[in-house]
Amino acid sequence: MTAQSASGQLVLVVDFGAQYGQLIARRVRDLGVYSEIVPCDMPAEEMSALVPAAIILSGGPASVYAEDAPSIDPGVLDLGVPVLGFCYGQQIMAKTLGGTVSHTDKGEYGAAPLERLDGACGSAQVPESMLFAGTPCEQTVWMSHRDAVSQVPEGFVVTSRTDVCPVASMECSERRLYATQFHPEVRHTPYGDQMLSNFLFEICGLERTWTMDSIIEDSVAAIREQVGESRVILGLSGGVDSSVVAALCAKAIGDQLTCVFVNHGLLRQDEPEEVEEVFTKQFDVDFVHVHAEDRYAGLLAGVTDPEAKRRIIGEQFWKEFFAVAEDLAEDGRPVQYLAQGTIYPDIIESGARKTGGKASTIKSHHNLIPFPDGVHFDLIEPLDHFFKDEVRALGTALGLPDHIVHRQPFPGPGLAIRIIGEVTPEKLTMLKGADAIVREELDAYNEAQFEERGERPVWQYFAVLPDVKSVGVMGDERTYQRPIILRAVESSDAMTADWAKLPCELLGRVSSRIVAEVPGINRVAYDITSKPPATIEWE
């Protein structure tokens, strides 16, 4: 199924390499309309085949006149679909339609006072702009540019200006083409949401159909239609994504579903027991616990390369699922489908398997590794167009308990990608011990903050075991042992993250406890890097 089918309306965000591309799609979804990102070199015909209800051209870092500047198929502006361009999007619209873009004397970065020039603000020549409806004649917008449109294309009017930028926005309302030099998608443009709403609901005539209830209803219907009478196994990790898929599938196909939990021995302390407890006691689903710890330990022995570890773990997952499917099929009902909790950022960062985009492979997410020889399933991935916080909202709407919905993300390859270098039983024991302390202390901190401020500030937190040793002194004795690195980040969707500004007392307590309670560790460091340039996990 596509997420579009869940809402019937699709807004395409055409990506010119924008810093804010994801943000535009999120803002549109937050307004209740489904939105997806597509690469800027997608031909108009292909875009048209997706039946978009509206198109938004993102910003981008290049100058439209640079040699390899991204451009757009001019046919996109002739599809009869309303188009809204931001920043580079305005410039590319102007250039493509015969206007002119020039360097401004000085760039314009940050908040800028804007003056509307349309009929609602006294102009006799320019009609009232629907894009600006309900916003003041003088307002603040967020700018980030050096080039700007100097002459608008034929049929366009200028609807606003700033001191630096004579064409802060332009439009041709007959063709429903609109553009702004500023960024309505950032919070620093106070009326940005109003403008986006005006575009989606007044200009394009869309409706707020991207609601949790409609998504559940349509997802359940889509799963039923895809699966028919077939049998499905579900790769369950106990995390929020696969639990939400379990709840959706259970609602859709009931006893055609078997949930399979592969225990690779790389889970956190006490986790396998907790997962088994939840899915045998709290959920009424068919549950299989596969003990694959020894097989994984054998396969990972001697392996140090991060991508090699990911590949081995991912491939073995498929094999384990396939073995379960073959066992189940002995009763004469074969398993055709594998359902899993792949979400949108997994796909983007694994190299755009389905988006057709140009994203490079940052990490091969475990569930996007190709099937090994002899293994095949048809896949059901009902969450492959969702961001993490949307999955959580879906979980709540499906009635999942809070402790699952707010569980912090945990990667499929588990602690193997938090042990730098070879995974050994000794290192696993050290990391599990340290991680349990990190979780205990930060769970308590997050919950206390939730009580006080209504939000859990730290999004993900864990321990990493690097492949180095350092000298220390304990009880007058020299030690030569491993450090633990504490990673704690704030994020909403894992696409970007900032390191958490934890109180010093908390950091101190975590450090003292780890060194005192975990044999083999003599030092604790705190990772203070955001994503980008780092990633959340170390491998």
Q: What residues act catalytically? A: 87, 183, 185
Of residues 219 through 278, those in contact with ligand XMP by CB under 6 A are none
* Binding test (CB under 6 A) with ligand XMP, winner from 29, 231, 363, 427: 363
How many Cβ atoms from other residues are within 10 Å of residue 44's Cβ? Answer: 16
CB of 391 to ligand XMP, least distance (A): 12
Number of residues engaging ligand XMP in binding (CB under 6 A): 15
Q: According to the binding rule CB under 6 A, does residue 22 interact with ligand XMP?
A: no
Structure tokens at 229: 């009478």
90 vs 461: CA distance, rounded Å: 40
CB of 147 to ligand XMP, least distance (A): 32
Binding part of the chain for ligand XMP, among 88-96, 132-140, 289-297, 359-367 by CB under 6 A, reads 359-367
Of residues 481 through 510, those in contact with ligand XMP by CB under 6 A are 494
Q: Which of 301, 380, 370, 295 is nearest to 337 (CA)?
A: 380
Contact in structure between 90 and 48 (CB atoms under 8 Å): no
Contact in structure between 342 and 368 (CB atoms under 8 Å): yes
Enumerate residues 6+ apart whose C-beta is below 8 A from 518.
430, 433, 434, 437, 484
Structure tokens at 248: 């959706």
223/536 with CB nearer ligand XMP: 536
Contact in structure between 228 and 380 (CB atoms under 8 Å): no
| 115 sits in which H/E element | strand 100-116
Amino acid in the structure at residue 346:
D
CB of 381 to ligand XMP, least distance (A): 12
Cα angle vertex 114, ends 109, 120, to 5°? 155
- Enumerate the β-bridge partners of residue 162: 114
Enumerate residues 6+ apart whose C-beta is below 8 A from 409.
239, 240, 388, 460, 494
Of residues 160 through 219, those in contact with ligand XMP by CB under 6 A are none
92/416 with CB nearer ligand XMP: 416
Binding part of the chain for ligand XMP, among 95-103, 153-161, 260-268, 361-369 by CB under 6 A, reads 361-369
Enumerate residues 6+ apart whose C-beta is below 8 A from 190.
139, 140
Binding part of the chain for ligand XMP, among 75-83, 148-156, 272-280, 358-366 by CB under 6 A, reads 358-366
Q: According to the binding rule CB under 6 A, does residue 460 interact with ligand XMP?
A: yes
Structure tokens at 351: 């190299």
Phi, psi of 452 (to 5 degrees): -80, -45
CB of 490 to ligand XMP, least distance (A): 12
137/292 with CB nearer ligand XMP: 292
Alpha-carbon distance values, 44 to 49, 73, 87, 130 (Å): 9, 6, 21, 26
Contact in structure between 349 and 362 (CB atoms under 8 Å): yes
Structure tokens at 443: 């769970």
46/305 with CB nearer ligand XMP: 305
- Enumerate the β-bridge partners of residue 519: none
CB of 129 to ligand XMP, least distance (A): 40
Q: Which of 465, 411, 414, 462 is nearest to 437 (CA)?
A: 462
CB of 428 to ligand XMP, least distance (A): 18
CB of 536 to ligand XMP, least distance (A): 3
Of residues 515 through 534, those in contact with ligand XMP by CB under 6 A are 531
79/299 with CB nearer ligand XMP: 299
15/241 with CB nearer ligand XMP: 241
How many Cβ atoms from other residues are within 10 Å of residue 298's Cβ? Answer: 8
104/492 with CB nearer ligand XMP: 492
387 vs 342: CA distance, rounded Å: 10
50/359 with CB nearer ligand XMP: 359
210/410 with CB nearer ligand XMP: 410
Of residues 140 through 169, those in contact with ligand XMP by CB under 6 A are none
469 vs 471: CA distance, rounded Å: 7
CB of 365 to ligand XMP, least distance (A): 4
- 489 CB-contact burial (10 Å; exposed 0-12 / middle 13-18 / buried 19+): buried
Contact in structure between 101 and 147 (CB atoms under 8 Å): yes
Contact in structure between 197 and 164 (CB atoms under 8 Å): no
CB of 42 to ligand XMP, least distance (A): 25
Of residues 364 through 423, those in contact with ligand XMP by CB under 6 A are 365-366, 409, 411-413
Binding part of the chain for ligand XMP, among 118-126, 197-205, 322-330, 363-371 by CB under 6 A, reads 363-371
280/535 with CB nearer ligand XMP: 535
Contact in structure between 77 and 96 (CB atoms under 8 Å): yes
CB of 364 to ligand XMP, least distance (A): 7
Q: According to the binding rule CB under 6 A, does residue 349 interact with ligand XMP?
A: yes
State the residues that interact with ligand XMP by CB under 6 A: 349, 362-363, 365-366, 409, 411-413, 460, 494, 531, 535-537
